[in-house]
Amino acid sequence: MEKNNSLISLNDFISGSCAGIVQVLVGQPLDMMKVRMQTNSKEYFNLIQTFKKITVEESPFAFYKGTLSPLLGISFVVAVQFCSNNFARNYFILQNSKNKSNKNPENLTHIQNLKSGMFAGFSNSFVVSPIEMIRIKMQVQGNNTENKYSGTVDCAKKIYKGYGIKGLYQGLFSTFLREFPGMACYFGVYEILMQTQVQKYGSKSEVPLIYPCIFGALSGSCFWLSCFPFDVVKSRIQSDDCANRKYKNIVSTFSIIYSNSGIGGFFKGIGPCLVRAPIGNSLTFLTFELISSKLKKRKH
């Protein structure tokens, strides 16, 4: 069991890293628009207007501002997500196998699948928070000579030099708020749906590839629908000036957003997310399952 678990973890890490690269390249432009709409809704008020404004005032290349940070980090982040989820799943499988009356310990309950996703969200928060902090700082910059950061590395250096680790982890607790329900739905929905097909086809490697695409698209949409208001709060906190913070904590940020924009303020930028989520996560899970399947075959 220990040998199998270590092999699965290595496969998950490699497969997750590849899936993360695909996710960034596909989703970065829409993520850029989402952040602009979340942090400056007066200038960026809908998907089409935001796309036109960025294209005309900056350039088409502006949609990939801050991409170095996610390309370097998101591959690792997605690897952590999948490894953590499968680590928790393996734990529940081990617990299920102790019950001798359970003929299929790998068939997890819905609650176990959701808990596994939640554990992935907890683990992921520590990795994704500083990466998204840097990406958001880069994305909210316009196209002028007064930009504070010349690039991703410069941004990370300046934040660390001025505010240390605490500066890089600005918004960690709001990241927890997003990741707990988000990842519970993300992996929970996917694994629950995939389980129905595994029972039919015998193993994940035998399930037709159309199903990871469909289930990945659904789980990505469920992620954002379950936690989007928390993502708005997180974006406001992380885009805020580290030295002179307007959004000092989660409660005050909720209050400011509600006072200025009402309930609608918590859903600014959801359009790009709901366009990006089905496409990006369909390809993310497809990539993960394809590479994971090939790596497992090479081990046998």
Looking at the predicted structure, is the pLDDT value of residue 145 above 60?
no
pTM: 0.84
Q: Which residues contact 229 (CB under 8 A, 6 or more apart)?
A: 266, 267
Length of the chain: 300
| 173 compared with 141, residue with greater pLDDT | 173
For residue 225, give both structure tokens: 């629908």
Q: Note the pLDDT of residue 24.
A: 82
The CATH superfamily of 2-299 is Mitochondrial carrier domain (1.50.40.10)
What b/e readout covers 56-79, taking b as 16+ CB neighbours within 10 angstroms? eeeeeebbbbbbbbbbebbbbbbb
Lowest mean pLDDT among 38-42, 51-55, 138-142, 176-180: 138-142
Overall average pLDDT of the 41-60 stretch: 88
Q: How far apart are CA 122 and CA 108, in angstroms?
A: 20
Q: What's the burial of 214, exposed, middle or buried (CB within 10 Å: 0-12/13-18/19+)?
A: middle
Q: Note the pLDDT of residue 61.
A: 79
Which has the closest alpha carbon to 120: 191, 194, 182, 75? 182
Q: Note the pLDDT of residue 63.
A: 81
Lowest mean pLDDT among 2-11, 54-63, 191-200, 266-275: 2-11
Which has the closest alpha carbon to 66: 148, 141, 16, 124? 141
254-280 pLDDT per residue, tens: 999 999 999 999 998 898 889 889 999
pLDDT-derived band at 1, boundaries 50, 70, 90: very low
Looking at the predicted structure, is the pLDDT value of residue 207 above 60?
yes
Please name the amino acid found at residue 131.
Answer: I
* 50, 36 Cβ separation under 8 angstroms: yes
Most confident of 66-70, 141-145, 210-214: 210-214
Q: How far apart are CA 109 and CA 50, in angstroms?
A: 43
Please name the amino acid found at residue 112.
Answer: Q
Please name the amino acid found at residue 111.
Answer: I
For residue 55, give both structure tokens: 């294209």
Q: Note the pLDDT of residue 7.
A: 42
169-178 pLDDT per residue, tens: 999 999 999 9
* 124, 176 Cβ separation under 8 angstroms: no
Overall average pLDDT of the 24-51 stretch: 86
- Indicate the average pLDDT of the chain: 88
Q: Note the pLDDT of residue 67.
A: 64
Q: Note the pLDDT of residue 223.
A: 96
**Coil, strand or helix at 171:** coil
**Coil, strand or helix at 206:** helix
| 180 compared with 30, residue with greater pLDDT | 180
